[in-house]
């Protein structure tokens, strides 16, 4: 089997890229180890806690014991299914802040400033949020990815947004538009009541439109095959047999920030000493492969509710059956939303130029994996700092492609991260003390109103912080002469030929918010780099707080 382009991974970046290449007349093969995304657990937005905890859809990765979190091992879900992690994520859609992309460009990712990436965010989306008075000029109207807003019928959503304003933070009608900072409605990749993954947005429409120019092969990618220093294909294992899928033009690795560095290292691209230790011939000594690992940590601030207005009334067998049946037959009701319908982005201190704390509000007190609810009616906000100083690494456990990689995030190993977390927790508590939320609060369940000192707050984070499942940065984009960069601004792997990366691995630094949107943008934009074309940059002026140097809000 051969194609012009062979893409490893049918996830957010790889699928968007493959669609654009096939659209341009190229023949593309996507290699995906996972199976079908059919069925209600994936397609029903309200069931989001299920697929990321099901071995049939998830790679089942875990971190090494994390020294900064008391040696805890954290779950690290990644999608092993058509659509990749866009088929198992929380469906929250965040572009990131314009300041994130300014930083990328400063770090050597030339051509990735906000003015450069905004046209790709617009090209990828069809936006359904105009009813909230937001400016449509910042948004896309005809892309494959539908971006919508929940109905916000539960009164707690508006109460949370109102409390943010009472605390002195502004309102944002569209955090994905001109202004991210503030409180307002949250957006999701949900369309007509269904999860709008890249499988639904790009893959199936692409296969229908482009026929055999866009093919998916179910197989495990073992390594990239080289002739000299040029990538010529991918060795896969399919039904117990090894074979090579030949790439006439290029190979693109888009296997996630966990699997992409693993595949690069197994293929001879990575830190030379580490590769030799596992018996791998070194093609390109790139110490940055697997390094620069970043993520967002979060905790759940949970409160008991005074009134029975939360989703807890459906937290039983009959309630879940009713929600499921309504969705199954009509694609409406609570099952048609991820229930993250209100949010906030704030700055932790004066002198911070743009938001570094994110809030997802949920009208239920429950764990993300759905395994335990707090007692009775309650609600919670998921919160955490956006730009941790700590960095981790992905490394090989062995030279065997079937072995899971070693994942060490090194969470909370920099002093600044503890300072940021204390500010985050104190600012969060203050928001729930505002009149609009305080009238709904019976008491604080977690952390607990007695957890106030620095030491107590630190202990809470150490025991309860969890990954927000936003790993990135492990094949960092930068200048070709930067020893720690892995790919250049065209996504080409430095030191070899015919090989690119197109997923969240290439992020120089984690963006503000959830990573699905930026990962799709990377696929869209790298496709144009391959095709030798660019959308013209947009001359826009995103909103930064005019008093950011002297005021926290």
Q: Is there a contact between 360 and 382 (Cβ–Cβ < 8 Å)?
A: yes
DSSP string of 401-449, one letter each residue: TTSPPEEE--TT-SHHHHHHHHHHHHHHHHHHTSHHHHTTEEEEEETTT
The percent helix, strand, coil of the chain (3-state, each to 5) is: 30, 25, 45
Q: How many other CB atoms sit within 10 Å of the CB of residue 293?
A: 26
Cα pseudo-dihedral 450, 68, 379, 447, rounded to 10: -10
DSSP string of 248-314, one letter each residue: EEEEEE-SHHHHHHHHHHHTTEE-HHHHHHTT---SEE-TTTT-SBB--EEEEEEEEESSS-SGGGG
Q: Hey, what are 26's tokens?
A: 């190229």
Q: Is there a contact between 333 and 501 (Cβ–Cβ < 8 Å)?
A: no
Q: Is there a contact between 363 and 156 (Cβ–Cβ < 8 Å)?
A: yes
DSSP state of 180: -
Grouping H, G, I as helix, E, B as strand and the rest as coil, residue 531 is helix
Q: Is there a contact between 390 and 473 (Cβ–Cβ < 8 Å)?
A: no
Q: Is there a contact between 141 and 150 (Cβ–Cβ < 8 Å)?
A: no
Q: Is there a contact between 32 and 10 (Cβ–Cβ < 8 Å)?
A: yes
Q: Is the dihedral of CA 18, 19, 20, 25 positive or negative?
A: positive
Residues serving a catalytic function are 470
Half-sphere exposure of 342 toward its Cβ, with a 13 Å CA cutoff? 24
Q: Is there a contact between 119 and 535 (Cβ–Cβ < 8 Å)?
A: yes
């Amino acid at each position: 089997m051969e194609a012009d382009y062979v893409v490893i991974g049918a996830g957010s970046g790889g699928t968007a890229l493959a669609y654009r290449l096939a659209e341009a007349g190229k023949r593309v093969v996507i290699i995906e180890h996972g199976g079908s995304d059919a069925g209600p657990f994936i397609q029903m937005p309200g069931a989001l806690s299920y697929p990321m905890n099901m071995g049939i859809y998830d790679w089942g990765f875990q971190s090494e014991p994390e020294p900064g979190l008391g040696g805890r091992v954290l779950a690290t879900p990644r999608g092993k299914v058509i659509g990749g992690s866009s088929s198992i994520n929380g469906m929250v859609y965040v572009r990131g802040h314009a300041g994130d992309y300014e930083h990328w460009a400063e770090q050597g990712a030339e051509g990735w400033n906000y003015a450069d990436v905004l046209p790709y965010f617009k090209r990828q989306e069809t936006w359904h949020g105009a009813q909230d008075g937001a400016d449509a000029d910042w948004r896309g109207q005809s892309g494959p990815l539908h971006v919508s807003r929940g109905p916000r019928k539960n009164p707690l959503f508006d109460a949370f947004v109102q409390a943010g304003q009472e605390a002195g933070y502004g309102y944002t009608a569209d955090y994905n538009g001109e202004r991210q900072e503030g409180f307002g409605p949250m957006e999701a990749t949900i369309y007509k009541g269904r999860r709008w993954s890249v499988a639904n947005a790009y893959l199936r429409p692409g296969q229908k439109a482009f026929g055999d120019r866009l093919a998916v092969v179910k197989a495990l990618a073992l390594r990239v095959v080289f002739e000299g220093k040029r990538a010529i294909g991918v060795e896969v294992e399919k039904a117990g047999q090894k074979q090579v899928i030949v790439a006439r033009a290029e190979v693109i690795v888009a296997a996630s920030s966990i699997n992409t560095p693993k595949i690069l290292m197994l293929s001879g691209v990575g830190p030379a000493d580490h590769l030799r230790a596992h018996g791998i011939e070194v093609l390109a000594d790139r110490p940055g492969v697997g390094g620069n690992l970043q993520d967002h940590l979060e905790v759940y601030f949970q409160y008991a509710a005074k009134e029975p207005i939360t989703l807890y009334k459906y937290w039983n067998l009959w309630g879940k059956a009713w929600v499921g049946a309504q969705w199954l037959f009509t694609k409406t009701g609570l099952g048609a939303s991820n229930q993250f319908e209100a949010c906030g982005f704030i700055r932790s201190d004066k002198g911070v130029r743009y938001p570094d704390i994110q809030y997802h509000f949920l009208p239920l007190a429950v764990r993300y994996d759905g395994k335990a609810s707090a007692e009775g009616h309650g609600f919670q906000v998921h919160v955490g700092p956006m730009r941790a100083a700590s960095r981790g690494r992905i490394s090989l456990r062995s030279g065997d492609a079937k072995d899971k990689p070693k994942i060490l995030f090194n969470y909370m190993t920099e002093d600044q991260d503890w300072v940021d977390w204390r500010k985050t927790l104190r600012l969060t508590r203050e928001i729930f003390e505002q009149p609009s939320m305080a009238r709904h609060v019976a008491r604080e369940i977690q952390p607990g109103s007695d957890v106030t000192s620095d030491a107590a707050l630190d202990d809470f984070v150490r025991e309860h912080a969890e990954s927000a499942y936003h790993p990135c940065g492990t094949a960092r984009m930068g200048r070709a002469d930067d020893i720690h960069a892995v790919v250049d601004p065209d996504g080409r792997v430095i030191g070899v030929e015919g090989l690119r990366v197109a997923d969240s691995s290439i992020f120089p630094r984690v963006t503000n918010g959830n990573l699905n949107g930026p990962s799709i943008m990377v696929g869209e934009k790298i496709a144009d780099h391959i095709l030798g074309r660019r959308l013209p940059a947009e001359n826009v002026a995103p909103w930064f707080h005019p008093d950011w140097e002297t005021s926290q809000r």
